Amino acid sequence: MKIGIVCYPTFGGSGVVATELGKGLAKVGHEVHFITYKQPMRLDFFSENLFYHEVDIKSYPLFEFAPYELALASKMVSVVKYERLDLLHVHYAIPHASSAYMAKQILRTEGIHIPIVTTLHGTDITLVGKDPSYEPVVTFSINESDGVTAVSADLRKETYAYFDIKREIDVIPNFIDLDRFKKQRKEHFKKAICPNDEKLLVHTSNFRKVKRVEDVIQVFFEVRKTMPAKLLLVGDGPERDRMERLCRTLGVCDDVRFLGKLDAVEEVLSVADLFLMPSEKESFGLAALEAMACEVPVLSSNAGGIPELNVDGVTGFVCEIGNVADLTEKAKIILADENLQGFKDRALARAKEFDIAQILPMYEAYYKKTIDTV
């Protein structure tokens, strides 16, 4: 098939999923055309089946905000037409699904029919999408897509709850490339961070409020009272300053390091003992899956689709959102020497269920079904 993939190209789970999916499809022989405003993060190599089309956003003194949606729709029209695509797969509803709808209508006037598959990722539904300033357009463009998938059953449920959806939404979970995300031998790194064999806790996120990074630090503060431990915080975002101040107030700065935006997160995960994801909202939790693939147990909240990934008492623990006392107690259980290896082994076994090799055929079948039925 010739598939167009539209996504956000920079940091963020939906862009990572879209890029890895495109790479996986190209590997098994499909021709994949990325349409974005910037070269996607993990698409920095040559492959005969991968193409990149940059959206040209023209500014003009009249525009306070350049109309990206229109430039994107125009680019979709030309790529579909000249590259003869079979299908467009847009990741994240806003504004990709509505731009795709517009492109589809324009192409129809030229006798070209292009099926649109929209994948919902999370905040496009649970935070941004349901805001009245976007809701009518999101509802319309989901209903007008030829196929709609959500990355978890919970996200599908939330979509039906928030929007007036009149069509079927299928669940295709996120996936992991186990060749990249695997435990690597990084003993020197572990020794440098934990010279006295301290337990290493890790959190990665975009440091937005919904990630509840303060819970990570509070849990660490409590755990550290009972065992030697270190905390690595990977990523950056609006909450970073506040979190640095919290570390100072709690007096834990010597044992906490903010690493900023790291691309090779698997190297950090390779030496971690516990991954924390106490989010307020989380449709899937790709970062937790990446940790599990590196044999790291997950201590999470019960937000959104996380319990569909992290199995309570098996691959880690699942606690009520904001229950720091419970999170702390469960962290100590996981980190106890006699328990840790079992949790690590089971985390890896669970991650294998989300191997890209299992999930990619689901998308291929979904594309074929969509093309055949429209």
| Interface with ligand GMT (CB under 6 A) | 12-14, 17, 92, 121-123, 151, 174, 206, 208, 210, 281-286, 304
Give pairs for 79-82: CB < 8 Å, separation 24+: 79/4, 79/33, 79/35, 79/53, 80/4, 80/107, 80/112, 80/114, 81/107, 81/110, 81/112
46, with CB counted inside 10 A (0-12, 13-18, 19+), is exposed
In the complex, what is the shortest distance from the CB of residue 300 to ligand GMT, in angstroms, rounded to a whole number? 11
If the CB atoms of residues 77 and 292 are measured against ligand GMT, the closer one turns out to be 292
| Tokens read off for 104 | 């589809």
If the CB atoms of residues 211 and 230 are measured against ligand GMT, the closer one turns out to be 211
User: Could you count the other beta carbons within 10 Å of the beta carbon of residue 171?
Assistant: 16
In the complex, what is the shortest distance from the CB of residue 14 to ligand GMT, in angstroms, rounded to a whole number? 3
If the CB atoms of residues 207 and 221 are measured against ligand GMT, the closer one turns out to be 207
User: How are the residues of the chain apportioned to helix, strand and coil, as percentages rounded to the nearest 5?
Assistant: 45, 15, 40
In the complex, what is the shortest distance from the CB of residue 171 to ligand GMT, in angstroms, rounded to a whole number? 12
In the complex, what is the shortest distance from the CB of residue 285 to ligand GMT, in angstroms, rounded to a whole number? 5
| Pair 121, 14: CB distance under 8 Å | yes
In the complex, what is the shortest distance from the CB of residue 12 to ligand GMT, in angstroms, rounded to a whole number? 3
If the CB atoms of residues 308 and 329 are measured against ligand GMT, the closer one turns out to be 308
| Pair 52, 39: CB distance under 8 Å | yes
If the CB atoms of residues 40 and 304 are measured against ligand GMT, the closer one turns out to be 304
In the complex, what is the shortest distance from the CB of residue 123 to ligand GMT, in angstroms, rounded to a whole number? 5
If the CB atoms of residues 210 and 233 are measured against ligand GMT, the closer one turns out to be 210
